[in-house]
Structures are given as structure tokens and as C-alpha cells.
Amino acid sequence: MNCKEFQELISAAVDLRLPDDGLAAFKDHSVRCSACRFEYEAEASTKLFVRSRTKRVRTPASLALQISEQIGREASAGHPSWIAELLGKPLVKPAIGFALAFVTVLLLLQDSMHVGPTTQAAFGSTDVILQSLMNHRSMLSGEMKPQFASSEPAQLAGFFSGITEYSVLLPRLKDCRLVGGVQNEFAGTKLAHIVYQHNNEIVYIYQTCWATVKRGEKLHLPDNVKDELLRSGWFSATQPDGRSIVLWTKGRTLCAAVARMSKEDLFACVMSGERGW
Amino acid sequence: MKFSAKSEKHWAFEREALPHMDLLYNYALRTTNNAQDADDLVQETFLKAFRFWGSYEQGTNIKAWLFRIMKNSYINRYRKETKEPDTVDYDEVKDFYSSVRHESTDSNDLQETLFGNLLDDDVTKAIASLPDEFRTVVILSDIEGLSYEEIAEFVDCPLGTVRSRLHRGRKLLREQLMEYGKQRGYVAED
């Protein structure tokens, strides 16, 4: 093997992709030629150095959310939204709107009770905050509907019974009406989704196994959020779009509540059910 | 999660394309060296991918398909902004950098000898400064850990080309890092 042939094989050697029959000749040349040996060692060192000094980063949650929402808008342009009709139609006067909405939601929820469980995990991000915000958005847009509708915690508890390895928490929240729930899986992890109605807003609560999130493999939280939860048991934040998220843990359950209200109001809302948590 | 109101197309896209967001984001960040530009590039890529989802052949390499959309978006953006092609002839630039010492060095000390205490930012800057065709294979191989076969599919070239671009890319990178090291006084001048 001459120097030119050796040079052409350096990358393959560094990446352990030299065929067995070429390895002996490569080694032999590197022993005889110090310049080529240096080139090989320098390339290997460069690769190791770059790898040790560069970290793969996760896509920022805000960007992932933005992209998903953009895709959602493209996909569902023109689709009617059951919950938006219920809660947010600007053209309907509030009093009439509320009455219509109440009737509408009853009809829709009755209908949705017949929808079979859907357990396909599709959204790619493992970030619990991002998933919670996306699900809240899906709830508002009507893409996500309760599989089981009930305002009675005991009935809903029956729906979740035996499905999750953690307790699904269903407290009565002050000034809130329990609407229903959804259960499904993400990467083999069981998720529970609870929906409340608070005045003209939806309070969505995502619940999953805290231990799984702590491990960070199938689901994860940003380090600062996880640290805060481990330290105090609570975390809250307001998104640029005005939505707030409150996370807390209770036993083996991690909860994330999302609503279009200040984080203080959302915190007070979930705290009102503290006995149930 | 699947709920009844989503279309099959929307479902398939969320299931197959969105999980690769981190790969594209990391590549975009390394390539543009600017968080805002990376955000824009990734967004544009996924939006285009969704619009042209019908042209994706099920069962083929989705990562490579997304990557090629991103590369085209990047090239279009770059051309719009600079009106210059994003390629550099290796032979023209290789003489620019001082050559490394052609002497054997203890491999344990080689990283220290070559790069001293360079900062992570120097590495980021050096990668971003590489000519596009070399930067791409170095990022995909040495940071993302993709195989030669995958890289060849991503950049649509033969395996031998991947191998030679990697060799040249790493050499350019080494020389650029050594240059930074000299400027900072971490590495002795020849």
C-alpha cells in the first residue's frame, strides 16, 4: 500500500469500516510511514474531539409546538371545532352562546361516548409539556374528544380503572365541571387525559407515570422543570400565547394542567381540588 | 395521539415525520449557526414536507426524504440571500491553512497537542465554517452518528464519495481548529 492508497482509507479506518483484507496492509503502512500514521491519528483525534465537544440538543418545545400547530392548521383548514363552538364563538352573544354551547356539548359528548378507545401514539415529541399543550390545543380545536363523558368522578374513575400503573386523580375542582376523559398510550406508556369546564374555558389535565418521566426515556421534562418538581413538587409557567401550564406530582402520578388563564388562576383552580390530589 | 377528527394524512405525517424533528433541528443549527435561522429552516422543511406528503414513497427512508427537503430549502434560502453558490473547491482552500506537523505524536496527547483547550464555541464555529459538502457529512457522521450508507442516501452520492468527503472534511476541520488554537495561544506556532 502506498501513501495515496493509505490516505483514501483513513476515514474508513477511523470509522472501523476497513475490510479485513485491507486492515493488515493499512496497519503495515502505518508502521512504516510516520507521516501517514500521524494523519490517521490526527483524523481519529479530530473525530473524538468534535464528538466530545458537541452536544445533540432537543428541538425547543416552542418550535415543536409551532410546527405542530402549523401542520394542524394546514390539515384541518375548514374543519368545524366542537369545543370552539362551545366556548369561543365570537359571533354568539355570551348568554345565548352559553345556552347553545351547553346543549351542543351534551349532544357531542353523548355522541363521543360511543367512540371507541383510540390508543395510537403519534405525536413525536417526548416532552410532557409540549404534549400537554398540544393536547389542550387539540381539545380546543375539536380534534380530541372525550372517550368517556361524565361529570361524576366515580364514573370516570371506573373508566380508568385497571388501565394505568399509577392512580388517575379525579378531584372536584372549585367552579369546574368535570366533562370527561381519554386514555391512550405514548411509546408504551399509559396516559390519562381529564377535561374540566371552568366558566367558558377548558381545563385540560394530562396524567402519566412520574417515574417514567424521571427516567426521561419514553417521556421527559426539561431539566429545570424536573429539578423544580423534585425540589418543590410544583412548577408553573405562562406561554407566549397566554396559556398557562401547572405541573405537580402526587405519589406515582405526574399531572400537567393547561388552560387559557393566568398561571395564578390555574394554580388556584387545581389547588382547589387539593384533597383529591 | 389519534382522535377522530384528524385526517389519515395528518396522522401518518405526525407518526412518521415529526419524530425526526431533533435530527433536522440539530443539523439546521450546526449548518446555520443561528438559532432563529435554524427555527425558520426546520419550520419551512416540515411545512413543505406536509404539503408534498403525497410524493413520499411509503417504506423508503423518511429521514433522507426530510433531509433532502431541508437541504433544498437551505440552498434556496442561501441563494436568495447571497446570490453565491455554497460550495468551495477543497484544493483552493487547503493551502490557506498551515499544514500540520508531519511527525508522530503520542496518541494520548494528540488531542491536547492539536487542539489545546479550545472551547465548544470554537468547535461550533469551525464546523459552520466548513464548505457545505464537507460540513454535511461531518455533522451526519461525527455528531449524528449515521452510517455511511445512510449518509450516502441523505446526500445522494456513492459511499466512496462519503468516505472521501469525510476525510477531507475532518482534515479541514482539524486545520481550522488548530488555527483557532494558535490564535488563542493554546497551540504552539509551527
Q: What is the pLDDT of residues A221-239, one digit of tens each?
A: 988 999 999 999 999 998 8
Task: Establish if A187 touches chain B: CB-CB under 8 angstroms.
Answer: no
Instruction: Kindly list the residues from chain A whose CB atom is less than 8 angstroms away from the CB atom of residue B117.
Output: none
Q: Is the minimum CB–CB distance between A46 and chain B shorter than 8 Å?
A: yes
Binning pLDDT at 50, 70 and 90, where does residue B117 land?
low
A118 vs B contacts (CB less than 8 Å): 1-4
- State the amino acid at position B50 in one-letter form: F
With an 8 Å Cβ cutoff, are A63 and B25 in contact?
yes
- Partners of B103 on chain A (C-beta within 8 Å) are 34, 38
A11, A58, A133, A136, best to mutate vs chain B, most B CBs in 10 Å: A11
Cα distances from A221 to residues A225, A229, B104, in angstroms, run 6, 10, 47
Partners of A205 in the beta sheet? A194, A257
Task: Evaluate if pTM is beyond 0.80.
Answer: no
Interface touch A67/B148, C-beta < 8 Å: no
Say yes or no to pLDDT of A113 above 60.
Answer: no
Choose among B14, B39, B127: nearest Cβ to A123: B14
Minimal Cβ distance to B3: which of A47, A70, A143: A143
The answer to ipTM > 0.85 is no
> Is there a contact between B50 and A143 if contact means CB atoms under 8 Å apart?
no
Nearest CA in chain A to B18: A124
pLDDT at B60: 87
Q: CA-CA distance, A172 to A180, in Å (whole number)?
A: 13
Mean pLDDT in residue range A175-191: 88
Categorize the per-residue pLDDT at A96 as very low, low, confident or very high, splitting at 50, 70 and 90.
Answer: very low
Residues in chain A closer than 8 A to B167 (CB atoms)? 7-8, 10-11, 43
Q: What percent of chain B has pLDDT over 70?
A: 71
Q: Is A220 helix (H, G, I), strand (E, B) or coil?
A: strand
Average pLDDT of the segment spanning B57-72: 90
Residue of B nearest to A124 (CA): B19
Question: How far apart are the C-alpha atoms of B174 and A49, rounded to whole Å?
Answer: 10
CA distance A232 to chain B (A): 30
**Contacts of A76 by beta carbon, 8 Å cutoff, 6+ apart:** A141, A143, B5, B6, B7, B10
Instruction: Flag the least confident range among A111-125, A225-239, B15-29, B70-84.
Output: A111-125
Average pLDDT of span B46-55 = 91
Domains of chain A, each with CATH number or no CATH: 117-276 (3.30.200.100)
Average confidence score pLDDT of chain A: 79
Query: What is the per-residue pLDDT for A193?
Result: 94
The predicted pLDDT at position A252 comes to 93
Mean per-residue pLDDT for A34-52?
A: 87
Share of chain A above pLDDT 90, in %: 23
The pLDDT of residue B184: 72
What's the rounded mean pLDDT across residues A195-218? 91
Which tops the pLDDT comparison, B159 or A116? B159
Joined grid coordinates for residue B107: 496518541
